[in-house]
Structure 1
Amino acid sequence: MCGIAGELRLDGRPARATVVEAMADSLVHRGPDSGGCWHDGSVALGHRRLSIIDLDGSAQPMISTDGRWALVFNGEIFNYRELRQQLRGYPFCTGGDTETILAGIVKHGVGFVDRLVGQFAIAVYDRRSRIMHLVRDRLGILPLYYYLDSHQLIFGSEIKAILSGLDSRPGVDLSSLDDYLWGRSVPSPHTLFDGIYKVQPGHRIEVAVGRELSDHCYWQPPAPTSVGWSAGAAVEAVDAAVGDAVRSALVADVPVGAYLSGGVDSSLIVAKAARFHPGRLKTFAASFGDPRYDELDYARQVSEHVGTDHHEVRVDAADFEELWPTLTWHRDAPMSEPADFAVFRLAQAARAEVKVVLSGEGGDELFGGYPKYRVARAMATASIVPGGVRRAIGGRLDQHLPERLARLRIALRVWSTPGRDEQYRAWFAPFSVAERMDLLGQVAARDTTQKSHTRDPIRAMLLSDLHVWLPDNLLERGDRMSMATSLELRPPLLDHRLTELAFRLPSSVKVRSGQTKWVLKEVARRYLPAQIVDRRKIGFRVPLDAWFRTSLRDTMFDRLSGPGSFVGEVFDRSAVRRLLERHDSGAFNEEIRIWTLMSLQVWHETFFSASRPSATTSTRRES
């Protein structure tokens, strides 16, 4: 994994090589091993490298042997050896995957990215046509941002690199605040920074002097196949595909380990990886020390069953106050999930032992693993009631449900959300439609809801999660928390070949007889004890409800309702205060809504206050 940055001047001026070098250096945590910068007239490219494949070669930026193409690349191409065999006519100078991409583009053009298996963000400049191509992998595993005006295109792996290249800091995109309140992140292509955008997953864009930006979608999940799948055939196909994905994700010239939460996804990956990995696989788990959410015992069971070299780390409330600004700087956005603090500490522990880790992201979004999938059809049926009626009933009931009925409260909020496609997002929404209106007042909002074109509510829900929740929340978080420690993260379940298989399968093998993620659990049953496969899903939870009434209470009130509060200024201050007091009473649990506002406040302090965290802030504490 690496960091890339660059500039293309559109106004006839020469590119600022020293600025691009500084942009790349702001990403040194993504690539501490080496760096490079190349410029030619109106274009400059910068790179920071984390050496994983071809350790002594493959320096970037890299120029094709015919001199036409200049490339910087973040990621890993798992099938690069096979692709090199198909490109034998190219005079290779290195043994890595970077030059494989370059050779393929020389021979086939930028469309060669369709053949890549792996995770990647690519910037490649055609010196002949003077077109800059920006390409992001199919699932959005790796990030790529850009800023474009009439004078310049500036891009980078993280927003901080773009900020380093701009003459003035952009303001807050107020139109994105409603999106943020929807899901604690902003869907592509927008961000919370005005004028800074994300390249969308599965897209490539082209920018050239005198032309409009061209955005091309090169990948979409396939439709279900018309050929009938038996349950047994589906299990066999998924078992083989998971094996292929894990085997591919182990391609590296450095040690590879794996996260192990004790859940089905990470446990299955560990069980598969241990079979292919030479020697004893190192595994890593984290805990907050709260018995309500602690899964360490399950992780230990899997480690003993598979035979891994297991490591554990614990996180407490002190980590939050200590790390919140620094990790927000790494995130370039509000910290969307409390568990990310543990993920960071987990990454620190892993980085002390290995340079690459496998993780379990994607299993729920591909195979229907969340509890909401179990009730998808029932919710669709119940939502026949007119939206206005549902909203009125839900609004009256919502405020009276106590903490012990938290799951019912979530379902009620979803049911009272008017539109079908809006309902799919509402499952993860911290604020209801009414609450967002109460907070936002006259602040503008945009409609970024993904429109579904299927009558199958389970598939529609899966597509919504694949397009929004997964890339803009889950994967963004995983990338930043691992890269903060210079650790490469690989989610094998998001191998695009496995993803395509998952979306060709019918919903009946994903949610079956009330069981979520049925087909993947049947695969896991072949490799893991039944008590791991059949246990109730807990998730990576943080005891915020208690912390916001004790150790974090004072900072919560001061930062959200005190003088100078960004949240207090941009949202309705009295509504914010009511929310805090409601939680403080102990009768209701408003932790996720308070967390959402606190994260936004810390983000604004981090990027817009006079004293901002710097790249030199230590994030390397050993566990």
Structure 2
Amino acid sequence: MDALVGFTGPPSETLLRSMIATLMHRGKAPGEVFLQSNHASLARLQLSDDHAVGLRLDRRGLIDGDVTLLVCGFLTRDGTESPGGSVALSGLIAEYRARGVAALARLQGAAIVAIADETAGALHVARIGAGVRTVFYGRYTDPSAATSRWLVASEPKAITSAPAFQAAIRPAAIAQYLAFSFVPGSGTMLQDVFELPAGHAVTLSADGSSNLTNLFPFEDGEWDGRGDGDDHSHWVAESRRVIADAVARRLPVGEPVGIFLSGGLDSSIVAAEVARQHNHRVLTYAIHFGKHYPNELQFARSVADRLGTEHHEVMVNPRQFAPRLRQMIWHLDDPIGDPITQPNFELARRVSQDVRYVFNGEGGDPLFGGPKNLPMMMQHWYGVPREPGFREKAYLASYRRAYEEWSRVLHPRIRDQIDPERDLESILAPFFQQTSVRSFLNKLMAINIRLKGAHLILPKVERMLAASGLTPLAPLFDEELIRLSFQMPPRMKLRSGDEKWVLKRAYEDDLPREVIERPKSGMRVPVHFWFRGEMRRLAKKTLASRHVREAELFDPDRIRQLLRYDIEEGAGRYGMRLWMLMTFELWRRVVVDRDRTGVSGGR
């Protein structure tokens, strides 16, 4: 998978090489495209032969007078290019000169676009569409040039690796991590490092200012209640057409592909389309945690048998991955709030032996009303409004992470700096208060797409696969499919408590009935049991009192209670909380303290 690095200000080969060196793990056949001007330096690392993918560009970088353009990933023009068609960079520059950053709103695909405008003294960086490709930016004081710069990179480690960069934890981010299991929005765990929101462009100016532009306001196309909202045959046919097109635009040319197949509805739909359209080998992969733990292997097998794929089952257990936890955290650049990330990392290592491109079913829940929306919908229909912010509080509680006890977990030094209304609830308030989205279900889906999808699911998938030189393909996060989801009546997605109703109707003839009809259970990682067995020693060692006291981030007494499992209230969640706390502490050592023990590829 390719990667982007760059910065504003005068050229510096030392800085550029320092940033590039941290991203060489993303592929096996390095090549580089350098574009430099007096105002900005950009580099694209071509780390694999990605021309096999149907979405392609005629070139990847171009300098035209005072404008420099570089593209990382795969692009098509919205509505004007056929699948597999090319996008001319010279045309993009001409559109930019005429319309400014707004010209990038017409693009779709899995890409980052960077435009350095020397006349305007600005560097524009865009994260196209749903944000399948991620990009970060940060403010940096360059000791060698005695100047401040903006740094830009596909992964935060390329920013924090800059000479003399001081990585400092942002206190509010710790509370956000405990509540969400990730840091939502443009903030990250670190001060002065930001994640570009999906479907946005950021303008980074020489004076140190930055400005965001929304390029993908998909909410504006919401169904307005007019027309025949009960014509389900139309929406079923449209859903199938758009999903088929999304898969077609991502199919590699002339080589096998892999599919992460959980046996759930979303990955099974993607597998059905890939198997139907692709004329090369299709390999499917399912994970499990051993015979002692529940799994969904029978559903994945049933789908694979129905579609005729080459199916593989991969077992993951702590004895395998515990020695690689620090390595994975280095790749992720974040604590592993969602424990399914680690099994996916292990699965990617196995899949990379067979293929270079891997489809997944991510996106079905955010776009089509997955079951996690039901508790919030029930409260919306039957609940009684209470104090201000009750919806925000209820949503945070529905994550079932550590929202209710963040104040007990945090060290007083950190806790005293946290305002829950400012640092937690205010992240969600704009979604619930926006008047442009009328349906409450669509408000929830907008949260899931713009926050969970863009800042947890897609970054996790991208970096876990990039660590093994794989390119992820997520057709259910396609821009046209997101628009279609908002254009259809909400009852096509959630109907009498039946989630993803339109998807089930669209593919009920293609998949086994048990896959269509069974309720979603999700991939349950048995952390609760692991911390009573295989991972107990690692947790106690990592969260030893001396480490907790030295860091002054968490309350030592509360951590000791968690490690003894002395929690009567919510006892079933202690495994998740221990996982989040343990991986946070490992992240702190690897990223903030720069302790790279057990990390290969680190600096």
Q: For the superposition of Structure 1 and Structure 2, which TM-score range results when normalised by the shorter chain? A: 0.7 to 0.9
Q: Does 1:144 align with 2:122?
A: no
Alpha-carbon contact 2:108-2:129 (below 8 Å) kept: no
Of residues 439, 444, 451, the one that matches 2:409 is: 439
Equivalent residue for 1:601? 585
Equivalence for 2:91: 103
CA distance 1:217–1:470, change in 2 (3 Å): same
CA pair 312-386 structure 1, distance change in 2 beyond 3 A:
same
Q: Work out the CA distance in 2 between the residues paired with 1:325 and 1:104.
A: 41
Residue 548 of structure 2: aligned partner:
565
Instruction: Name the residue aligned to 1:18.
Output: 14
Matches of 1:123 and 1:156, distance apart in 2: 11
Whichever residue aligns with residue 222 of structure 2, its letter is: A
Compare 184-193 and 553-562 and name the one that shifted more: 553-562
Q: Is the 8 A contact 2:57 2:74 kept in 1?
A: no
Structure 1 CA distance for aligned equivalents of residues 462 and 110 of structure 2 = 11
Describe the shift of the 1:349–1:443 C-alpha distance in structure 2 as closer, same or farther (beyond 3 A).
Answer: same
Identity between Structure 1 and Structure 2 (%): 26
- Closer/same/farther in 2, CA of residues 537 and 83 from structure 1, 3 Å limit: closer
- In the superposition, the TM-score normalised over structure 1's length comes to 0.85
Tell me how far apart the structure 1 counterparts of residues 356 and 237 of structure 2 sit (CA, whole Å): 32
1:414-443 per-residue CA deviation (whole Å, 9 max, x = no partner) reads xxxx5213323432241134x112223313
**Equivalent-residue separation in structure 2 for 1:310 and 1:33 (angstroms):** 28
Structure 2, unmatched stretches of 5+, are 141-146
Match of 2:74, SS?
strand
Deviations 1:436-476 (A, max 9, x none): 12223313342322422356332222122112111111111
Cα distance between partner residues in 2 of 1:123 and 1:21: 19
Counterpart residue number, 2:330: 329
Distance 1:302 1:527 in 2: 9
> Secondary structure at 2:51's aligned position in 1?
coil
Give the length in aligned residue pairs. 571
Contact 1:38 / 1:61 at 8 angstroms: preserved in 2? no
Residue of structure 1 in register with 2:234 after alignment: 233
SS class of match (1:563): helix
Structure 1 residues 310-345: Cα deviation after superposition (integer angstroms, max 9, x where no partner): 222111111332111000000000012111121112
Q: Deviations over 1:171-200 (max 9, x none)?
A: 111121111111111112100111101111
Code of the aligned partner of 1:503 = F
3-state SS of the aligned residue for 1:424? helix
TM-score by length of 2: 0.88
1:217 alignment partner AA: N
| 8 Å CA contact 1:263, 1:537 repeated in 2 | yes
- Partner residue, 1:53: 51
State which drifts further: 269-278 or 106-115. 106-115
| One-letter amino acid matched to 1:443 | Q
Give the Å deviation of 1:292: 4.3
Is the 8 Å Cα contact of residues 260 and 284 (structure 1) preserved in structure 2? yes
How do 1:375-386 and structure 2 match up within 5 A?
Answer: 375-384=375-384, 386=386
Task: Write out per-residue CA displacement over residues 127-181 of structure 1, whole angstroms, 9 at most, x where no aligned residue.
Answer: 4433211000221221110112671111100000001224232211112111111
Is residue 72 of structure 2 the alignment partner of residue 71 of structure 1?
A: no
Sort the Cα spacing of 1:579 and 1:147 in 2 relative to 1 into closer, same or farther, 3 A. same
3-state DSSP of counterpart to 2:284: strand
Say which is worse superposed, 161-170 or 377-386, in terms of deviation: 377-386
Q: In the TM superposition, what are the counterparts of 1:121-136 in structure 2 within 5 Å?
A: 121-136=112-127
Q: 1:565 Cα deviation (Å)?
A: 2.5
C-alpha displacement of 1:484: 0.6
Aligned to 1:475: 458
CA displacement 1:12-51 (0-9 Å, x = unmatched): xx22123212212211122432232333334221221132
CA shift in 2, pair 1:351/1:182, >3 Å: same
**Deviation of 1:68 (Å):** 4.0
Cα root mean square deviation, aligned: 2.8
The answer as to 2:386 corresponding to 1:421 is no
Separation in structure 2 between the aligned mates of residue 596 and residue 236 of structure 1, nearest angstrom: 42
Amino acid at match of 2:199: G
CA contact (8 A) 2:138 2:159 kept: yes
- 1:458 counterpart SS class: helix
Matches within 5 A, 1:286-297: 286-290=287-291, 292-297=293-298
CA shift for structure 1 position 557: 2.5
| More deviation, 355-364/601-610 | 601-610
Tell me the equivalent position of 1:160: 157
Unaligned residue ranges in structure 1 (runs of 5+) = 86-94, 389-417, 619-623
Asked whether 1:581 is paired with 2:560, we answer no
Q: Distance in 2 between matches of 1:270 and 1:112?
A: 34
Q: Which amino acid aligns with 1:339?
A: I
Q: Match of 1:243? A: 244
Whether the aligned pair in 1 keeps the contact of 2:109 and 2:129 (CA below 8 Å) is no
Question: Which of 481, 484, 489 is the matching residue for 1:501?
Answer: 484
State whether residues 261 and 285 of structure 2, in contact with CA within 8 Å, keep that contact through their aligned partners in structure 1.
yes
Aligned partner letter, 1:380: H
> Structure 2 counterpart of 1:77, which letter?
L
1:462 and 2:445 aligned: yes
